[in-house]
Structure 1
Amino acid sequence: MSKFVPLSQAVGENLNDGDTVAFEGFTHLIPHAAAHEAIRQGFRDLTLLRMTPDIIYDQMIGMGMARKVIFSYAGNPGVGLLRRMRDAIENAYPRGIETVEHSHSAMAQAYEAGASGLPLALFRGYKGADLPKVNPDIRFVTCPYSGEQLATVPAHRPDVTFIHAQKANRKGDVLIEGIIGVQKEAALAAGRVVVTVEEVVPSFRGLHPNLCILPHWTIDAIAVVPGGAHPSYTHGYYERDNAAYLEWDRISADRELFAGWIRDNVLGATPEVFAERVRELRP
């Protein structure tokens, strides 16, 4: 069966209620289109994993999709708070959520451990920090060789990971250009992997050999969604829509404004809307 499917099918066949799911991206390549499709399909009781939850997780939390969020930073980057996430934590609106906070390093280490098939991540860190007081998943062990105290956290093994990338070839290999966060590790740690891409090309011949490539056998479904990372940017394709992040601060501060925005821009939209929105952003 071809890995290339419509976005609705890619999401519907790989995400389930109650899953632990990562929508990963770091400053760019954030898979907004995939997350919006998950909102349209109405999944519930999700555990959301992400190093840096930003406005896409704010939207999912605001729609009552999450029961738990595991993260290392949460905010509207360059602007301020995630107001829908804060409303859920402080007021249980539209439902209460459990939060598990880590450092950036611990999140990255946990993804790498999951990608390596290990049950935990072992690293130097958290000495003298306060997070172990509120996160019982942070535990310490003594190195049997040096006697040094080391921190551990459970490996991240999401049921499914969603990422966005620039290109796929016809065989189904995926290429990522620009800043690489933990997309590769998050994909390799997952039981299922869904990728949205800007375009399909015949091959990757002639491109720089140090680009990140996920081979086709690591990926379950690919959906071609031009603009699928908007309002974040996709290196080489379109820039970050800073105005959208500024506007989100106003929209997310009001429950009714939020509901109206979701109705008009997500529930009533299609993946093709993303392509239209980013045309004016392309260099």
Structure 2
Amino acid sequence: MAEFLSLKEAVSRHINDGDTVAMEGFTHLIPFAAGHEIIRQEKRDLTLIRMTPDLVYDQMIGAGCAKKLIFSWGGNPGVGSLHRLRDAVERGWPNQLEILEHSHAAMACAYEAGAAGLPLAVLRGYIGSDLPKVNEQIKFIECPFTGEKLAAVPSVRPDVSVVHAQRADRKGNVLVEGIIGIQKEAVLAAKRSIVTVEEVVDDLGASVNACVLPSWAITAIAEAPKGAKPSYALGYYDRDNAFYKEWDGIARDRDAFQAWLNENVFENGGA
């Protein structure tokens, strides 16, 4: 059952060095506040999983939190490359980063399989692709019923999944509204989960067919207003497009990045 904790305590208690950590949110509700707390606590040797690693993982990788990245697309949306990620992969700064790339379809299927407690996901895909040449996790199997050649990948079953959402009620149920990526499956697939929310309320006000994460599926809830900035939270604030553009210049230079990290994450507590 979900326990209400401060974000600092939730990260300290539930994310350990060496863990496999998934932080999901598709353009929307990206858990930046949680990522910054992981940086502040100097978590190390993490295997990071995310379908679309963008600025939050660029920051965590540049801060030295990660040893491996499992993903299906990486970049600064609408702007260009992730320069801290590239520096880690190409030049080993601040440490060498191992990467494992999948397709979006494979990652989505792998999360769904993990949420169902299955060891692998099966999909039609990767036929004719070069990814199997560089990703040893991609295998091919024969359907026992039709003889069709299918791709198989391991399910995603993180030690910890971290997502951001709009609201939690006082019983520990969480409402996710707007663009929903793979957050529900990420939480259900994980051994432990941390959900940051804009606010805690008496009544979620959930509409019919709303995405509600039940209390029993969540380990910890932390109230973190504006916890998705500079991404956006439907009904609370807009995307800070200007910052995404500014990040390109900040992240290109190691000294500029470290100065930004010190000022905005360490000294100002992620504000």
Same fold (TM over 0.5): yes
Q: What residue in structure 1 maps to residue 107 of structure 2?
A: 107
Find the counterpart in structure 2 of residue 7 from structure 1. Answer: 7
Name the aligned partner's letter for residue 193 of structure 1: S
Count of aligned pairs:
271
What pairs with 1:229-268 in structure 2 (closer than 5 Å)? 229-268=228-267
Match of residue 226 from structure 1:
225
Cα drift, residue 269 of structure 1: 2.1
Distance 1:270 1:95 in 2: 24
User: Per the alignment, in what secondary structure is the counterpart of residue 39 of structure 1?
Assistant: helix
Structure 1 residue 63, shift from structure 2 partner: 1.0
The alpha carbon displacement at 1:2 in A equals 7.1
Map of 2:193 onto structure 1 = 193
Alpha-carbon distance in structure 2 between the residues aligned to 1:95 and 1:7: 27
Distance (whole Å) between structure 2 residues aligned to residue 194 and residue 269 of structure 1: 22
Q: CA RMSD in A?
A: 1.0
1:1-283 to 2 correspondences below 5 Å: 3-205=3-205, 207-270=206-269, 273=271
Structure-2 separation of matches of 1:13 and 1:266: 20
Q: Quote the Cα distance in structure 2 between the aligned partners of 1:201 and 1:46.
A: 33
Look up the SS of the partner of 1:140 in the other structure: strand
Aligned partner of 1:280 in structure 2 is none
- The alpha carbon displacement at 1:101 in A equals 0.1
**Separation in 1 of the partners of 2:94 and 2:185?**
32
Off by >6 Å, runs of 4+ in structure 1: none
Distance 1:193 1:94 in 2: 28
Q: State how far apart, in whole Å, the 1-side matches of 2:123 and 2:173 are.
A: 32
Residue 65 of structure 1, CA deviation = 1.0
Q: Distance in 2 between matches of 1:204 and 1:225?
A: 16
User: Tell me, what secondary structure is at the counterpart of 2:33?
Assistant: helix
| Unaligned stretches of 5+ residues in structure 2 | none
Hey, what's the Cα distance between the residues in 1 that align with 2:59 and 2:2?
31
**Which AA in structure 2 matches 1:261?**
W
Query: How far did 1:204 drift?
Result: 2.6
Amino acid at match of 1:237: Y
What code does the residue aligned with 2:120 have? Answer: L
Asked whether the 8 Å contact 2:168–2:197 carries over to 1, the reply is: yes
The percentage of counterpart residues that share the same residue type is 62
Query: Using the alignment, how far apart are the partners of 1:240 and 1:111 within structure 2?
Result: 26
The code of the aligned residue for 1:233 comes to Y
